[in-house]
């Protein structure tokens, strides 16, 4: 029994929170309620006891559960979501961690323990439900005549635990899903019908036919490039899939449309505990969060041009092994080891047109020749720790070792994608012609 410690920490009893309406059922958010926490303005997260935001780490069942990258916004929450139905204990240590905590990664740690089975069977099912019928439309959608974005959020699941062999072998398992078949409104700037024909409207309403009044008399082309004409025609075909609204520029309109983008999360958890002997206990656990969102990368135009959209998906899980060995009444050895898998695929199903076609940026209005570009991140971690605690008379000695190794994999699409920017530049014979005309107009 350790009667004193200089670690600053708080253990949160999750049984008291089971019946509370916790949004998302993510218990890691409760770390922000611990004394010493200060929110960081403009950043999702904060710090504890004046520590820098990067001095944070977390673990599930003794296994590192987040990477050491991108910690500038804080790192108190694990990659696999710590769900209320799957976690039995949460400890927040906010300073002066012992050498057997945190793997030397940080001075603040949130530690989670997966729910165990027992000699009695226990189970439950639940559902949290939200619906767009209870929401008002957004101001923007009302202004342009769009219906409110559809929202149905179902967060449901269940768990069960109990004995396989009484007093010997126990199990716990849970599965939950969060489904939100919603989306968002995207916009693009398009040319008006007159502007497509080369008829430019000045702010005072004066109209100028750029082809017949400016280009033709000066020996310049009097019709649009065939490629540009084809793209304008494709944009026109997409207009019926959205709503047009005017802008402050009389030659441009805003096209708004709804992008379906349902979000689905999966939360499976399994834990098995085995009393090998009266002195040796083992446990294995697996916690995962999977995510999929079609339409996460918006298409640049709707309708027939919507194939430029893309989807995101990710998988984060920890697998752990624990062995507790009571060597003698005063000597205890504890081993924890496991693997943290994390991979995110951004725009994984994006068109690969960028490998054969350039990106084209128009000087006026938006071009349909743009692409979502795929990016993949993957930072797996393997770690283990072994610690021994020895009670010697009135003294307690703790010694052991820990090891962790992280591999960083980050893939971007190839650099050097050819990009054309269309417009009048120095050296273009049309520049002086248009400058002279409008200077004298």
Kindly report, residue by residue over 389-416, the tens digit of the pLDDT: 898 888 888 888 889 999 999 888 777 7
Tens of pLDDT along 112-158?
999 999 999 999 998 888 787 878 888 888 887 878 777 778 889 99
Closest alpha carbon to 256 in 187, 326, 306 = 187
Strand boundaries in 61-168, DSSP class E: 63-64, 87-95, 108-114, 122-131, 152-165
| b/e burial code for range 169-184 (CB count within 10 A of at least 16 → b) | ebbbbbbbebebebbe
Residue 2: per-residue pLDDT: 44
Tens of pLDDT along 279-333?
999 999 999 999 999 999 999 999 888 889 999 999 999 999 999 999 999 999 9
| CB-based contact 340:302 (threshold 8 Å) | no
Residue 3: per-residue pLDDT: 47
Closest alpha carbon to 163 in 110, 221, 220, 121 = 121
| b/e burial code for range 370-396 (CB count within 10 A of at least 16 → b) | bbbbbbebbbebbbbbbbbbeeeeeee
Residue 75: per-residue pLDDT: 80
- DSSP H or E segment with residue 178: strand 169-180
Q: Which residue has the tokens 């398009």?
A: 190
User: Is residue 4 pLDDT above 60, yes or no?
Assistant: no
Closest alpha carbon to 100 in 400, 320, 382 = 400
Residue 272 buriedness (CB in 10 A; 0-12 / 13-18 / 19+) = middle
DSSP annotation of 137 reads P
Enter the tokens of residue 424: 């009048």
User: Is residue 357 pLDDT above 80, yes or no?
Assistant: yes
Enter the tokens of residue 297: 């990368």
Question: Quick one: pLDDT band at residue 54, thresholds 50, 70, 90?
Answer: confident
- Mean of pLDDT values over 160-187: 93
Q: How far apart are CA 52 and CA 327, in angstroms?
A: 40
pTM of the model: 0.83
- Cβ contacts of 247 within 8 Å, gap of 6 or more: 189, 253, 254
Question: Quick one: pLDDT band at residue 16, thresholds 50, 70, 90?
Answer: low
| CB-based contact 60:287 (threshold 8 Å) | yes
- Mean of pLDDT values over 30-52: 76
């Amino acid at each position: 029994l350790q009667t004193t410690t200089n670690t600053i920490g708080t253990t949160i009893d999750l049984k008291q929170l089971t019946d509370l309406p916790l949004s998302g059922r993510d218990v890691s958010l409760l770390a922000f309620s611990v004394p010493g926490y200060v929110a960081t303005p403009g950043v999702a997260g904060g710090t504890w006891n004046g520590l820098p935001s990067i001095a944070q780490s977390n673990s599930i069942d003794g296994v590192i559960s987040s990477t050491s990258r991108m910690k500038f916004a804080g790192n108190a929450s694990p990659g696999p979501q710590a769900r209320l139905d799957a976690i039995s204990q949460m400890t927040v240590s906010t300073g002066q961690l012992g050498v057997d905590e945190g793997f030397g990664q940080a001075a603040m740690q949130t530690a989670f323990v997966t729910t165990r089975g027992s000699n009695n069977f226990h189970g439950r099912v639940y559902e949290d439900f939200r619906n767009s019928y209870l929401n008002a439309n957004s101001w923007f959608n009302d202004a342009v005549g769009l219906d409110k974005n559809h929202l149905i959020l179902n967060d449901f699941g269940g768990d069960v635990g109990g004995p396989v062999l009484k007093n010997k072998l126990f199990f716990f398992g849970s599965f939950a899903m969060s489904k939100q078949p919603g989306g968002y409104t995207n916009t693009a700037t398009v040319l008006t019908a007159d502007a497509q024909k080369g008829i430019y409207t000045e702010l005072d309403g004066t109209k100028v036919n750029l082809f017949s009044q400016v280009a033709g008399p000066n020996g310049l082309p009097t019709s649009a490039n065939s490629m540009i004409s084809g793209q304008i025609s494709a944009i026109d075909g997409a207009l019926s899939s959205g709503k047009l609204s005017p802008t402050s520029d009389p030659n441009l309109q805003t096209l708004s449309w709804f992008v379906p983008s349902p979000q689905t999360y999966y939360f499976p958890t399994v834990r098995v505990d085995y009393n090998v002997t009266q002195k040796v206990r083992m446990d294995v656990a697996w916690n995962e969060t999977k995510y999929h969102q079609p339409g996460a990368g918006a298409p640049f135009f709707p309708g027939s041009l919507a194939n430029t959209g893309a989807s995101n998906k990710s998988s984060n899980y920890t697998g752990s092994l624990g062995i507790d060995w009571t060597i003698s009444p005063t000597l205890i050895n504890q081993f924890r080891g496991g693997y943290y898998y994390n991979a995110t695929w951004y725009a994984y199903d994006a068109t690969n047109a960028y490998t054969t076609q350039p990106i084209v940026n128009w000087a006026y209005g938006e071009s349909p020749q743009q692409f979502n570009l795929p990016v993949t991140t993957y930072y797996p971690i393997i770690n283990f720790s072994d610690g021994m605690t020895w009670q010697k008379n009135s003294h307690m000695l703790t010694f052991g070792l820990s090891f962790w190794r992280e591999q960083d994999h980050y893939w971007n699409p190839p650099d050097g994608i050819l990009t054309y920017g269309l417009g009048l530049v120095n050296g273009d014979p049309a520049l002086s012609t248009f400058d002279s005309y409008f200077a004298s107009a």
